[in-house]
């Protein structure tokens, strides 16, 4: 056998050996896939509500729902409703997640609210506030104060990453002295991109870009906005649901992705509704207990573009597990 033949045999053997190596999947893969199945299969949810409205007829756009820490088996929702072209943040409650009793308006010229139980008692709310589209933080000491709209602390954050707009907040952790959030900034006054910020003592605001989230969606060809998100820990691993728009200004191209903090990658969720709607935006996710069982509660906004009949608007659903 010639030297060339020996070299060729060795080269082929090395290539075969490399192709035979099986890489071990990241440990977060199985939990991410399981969580994705819960979220994507709306048709098999225990209960679901399309085009959600409160009892007086307000649309519950971009709703965020949490358990009421002061009343057993009650849930709190904050959402916005456009009335005569003006967005207003509203508050409602429910015991079954399907029927909602409106409590009060919390803010005008405001949208995209997020709410969290404060770890030292009370409730933290954040929303987009006009004029000069920016983030507004408020703190209510008790559930009674929240129902009455009695604010203990508030803060209007100056825009730091965009001269045009900053908003769509989600809350990672919060108490009356320290709040950490995700949000979008209007990059070059052209498209939304991701950011993270902290507010200390309702006085000191600081923020930074979150290009890891942007890059994970840009990888899939997202060319429009990368906006609203919500974070969750499942089976010990951290994930974020996040919206991405494939084509700028085309609401029918909104899709929802799941971002894996362990790998830095995102997958598009293939969400299946009863009618086959295709576009989904403004995702939120919350672990709850209902009827004595643990459940995953998800909300999505279904744009009218690429929606099935009767499904446009806010979608609320949960799956027990």
**Hey, what are 97's tokens?**
């997640």
Tell me the per-residue pLDDT of 112-154, one tens digit each, with 9 for 90 and over.
999 999 999 999 999 999 999 999 999 999 999 999 999 999 9
Q: How many CB atoms lie within 10 A of CB 85?
A: 5
Q: Which residues pair with 186 in a beta bridge?
A: 192
Q: pTM here?
A: 0.92
Q: What are residue 116's phi and psi, to 5 degrees?
A: -145, 150
209 domain-assigned? yes
Tell me the per-residue pLDDT of 53-70, one tens digit each, with 9 for 90 and over.
999 999 999 999 999 999
**Hey, what are 216's tokens?**
């994970």
Please report the pLDDT score of residue 18 as a whole number.
44
CA-nearest of 170, 310, 217, 234 to 39 is: 234
Instruction: Give the chain's domain count.
Output: 1
40 domain-assigned? no
Average pLDDT over residues 165-179: 98
14 domain-assigned? no
Average pLDDT over residues 97-121: 98
CATH code of the domain covering residue 71:
2.115.10.20
Please report the pLDDT score of residue 22 as a whole number.
57
Q: What stretch of H or E contains 5?
A: helix 3-19
Average pLDDT over residues 230-256: 98
* Average pLDDT value for the chain: 94
Range of the domain at 131: 47-320
Please report the pLDDT score of residue 23 as a whole number.
77
- What distance in Å separates the CA atoms of residue 163 and residue 159, rounded to the nearest whole number? 7
Q: Is the pLDDT of residue 1 over 80?
A: no
36 domain-assigned? no
279 domain-assigned? yes
Q: Which residues of 71-83 are buried (b: 16+ CB within 10 A; e: fewer)?
A: eeeebbbbbbbee
Please report the pLDDT score of residue 88 as a whole number.
98
Please report the pLDDT score of residue 138 as a whole number.
98
22 domain-assigned? no
11 domain-assigned? no
Angle at CA of residue 78, ends 268 and 319, nearest 5°? 50
13 domain-assigned? no
- What distance in Å separates the CA atoms of residue 142 and residue 216, rounded to the nearest whole number? 39
């Amino acid at each position: 056998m010639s030297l060339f033949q020996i070299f060729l045999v060795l080269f082929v053997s090395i290539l075969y050996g490399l192709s035979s190596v099986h890489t071990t999947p990241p440990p977060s893969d199985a939990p991410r896939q399981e969580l994705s199945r819960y979220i994507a299969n709306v048709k098999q949810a225990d209960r679901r509500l399309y085009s959600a409205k409160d009892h007086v007829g307000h649309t519950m756009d971009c709703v965020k729902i949490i358990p009421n820490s002061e009343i057993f088996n009650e849930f709190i929702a904050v959402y916005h409703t456009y009335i005569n072209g003006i967005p207003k943040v509203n508050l409602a409650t429910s015991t079954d997640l399907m029927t909602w009793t409106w409590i009060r308006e919390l803010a005008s010229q405001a949208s995209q609210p997020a709410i969290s139980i404060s770890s030292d008692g009370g409730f933290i709310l954040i929303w987009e506030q006009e004029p000069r589209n920016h983030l507004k933080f408020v703190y209510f000491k008790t559930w009674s104060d929240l129902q009455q709209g009695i604010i203990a602390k508030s803060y209007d954050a100056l825009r730091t990453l965009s001269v045009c707009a900053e908003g769509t907040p989600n809350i990672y952790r919060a108490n009356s002295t320290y709040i950490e959030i995700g949000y979008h900034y209007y990059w070059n006054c052209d498209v939304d991109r991701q950011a993270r910020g902290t507010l200390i003592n309702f006085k000191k605001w600081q923020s930074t870009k979150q290009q890891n989230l942007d890059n994970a969606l840009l990888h899939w060809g997202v060319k429009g906005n990368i906006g609203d998100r919500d974070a969750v820990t499942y089976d010990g691993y951290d994930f974020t649901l996040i919206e991405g728009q494939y084509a700028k200004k085309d609401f029918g191209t909104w899709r929802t992705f799941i971002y894996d903090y362990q790998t830095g990658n995102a997958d598009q969720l293939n969400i299946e509704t009863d009618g086959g709607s295709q576009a989904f935006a403004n995702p939120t996710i919350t672990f709850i207990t209902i009827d004595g069982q643990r459940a995953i509660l998800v909300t999505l906004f279904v744009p009218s573009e690429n929606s099935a009949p009767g499904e446009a608007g806010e979608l609320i659903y949960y799956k027990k597990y």
